[in-house]
Amino acid sequence: MNIKEIIVVEGKDDTTAIKRAVSADTIETNGSAISKETLKRIQHANDKRGVIVFTDPDYPGRRIRAIIEEHVPGVKHAFLAKEKTIAKNGKGLGIEHASNEDIREALKSVYTPSEGSPTEVITMEDLITAKLIGHPQSKKRRYRLGEILNIGITNGKQLHKRLLIFQISAEQFADAIKQLDQEEVDE
């Protein structure tokens, strides 16, 4: 699998994992303290070839993603579920621990944010009704919804924003909630 965009990752081990799974170029942020120089390189890469942000599903990874989104609007995003990034010995979490197949799947399911102001299809009320906000199981449900829709882990406010940015349709949302509800019945 050949990726034309440049993939932004956190470090060298992530680059090694990406290159093991696909043919691609990477930019490493070297952690969550992203320099202005690195942000300039990411902007330049986005202007020339496009960029896919592919960070770990943890707080530092989400922070890096947010910093890049703020400084380089329009980047694409790839996400991996937390359990697909846990080291075999259980002591570590990151893209570098993911299987080649999981990395390829995440890169096939890249999201491109919409241009301009997205139209609100799913409201905050919809999130409350779907027990994604203000319910004892909200966090667990948001986590699983993020996996189903492949949009990553979020809090309630971030979830609403991601649904907008990635233009998740009412039908996609409804189907995901149906799947979520069915899984809870089956437990």
The per-residue pLDDT for range 4-31, each reduced to its tens digit, is 999 999 999 999 999 999 999 999 998 7
Residue 46 has pLDDT above 90, yes or no: yes
The structure tokens listed for 30 are 């070297």
pLDDT band at 116 (very low <50, low <70, confident <90, very high): low
What length is written for the chain? 187
Which pLDDT score, from 0 to 100, does residue 8 have? 97
Closest CA to 150 of 115, 180, 111, 101: 111
Residue 126 has pLDDT above 90, yes or no: yes
Which pLDDT score, from 0 to 100, does residue 97 have? 92
Amino acid letter, 29: T
Which pLDDT score, from 0 to 100, does residue 86 have? 83
Query: Judging by beta carbons within 10 Å of its beta carbon (0-12, 13-18, 19+), is residue 159 exposed, middle or buried?
Result: buried
Report residue 4: phi and psi, to 5°: -80, -35
The structure tokens listed for 17 are 């994992």
State pLDDT tens for residues 57-72.
Answer: 888 998 899 899 889 9
Closest CA to 122 of 114, 113, 130: 130
Question: pTM for the whole thing?
Answer: 0.73
What element of type H or E holds 105?
Answer: helix 100-108
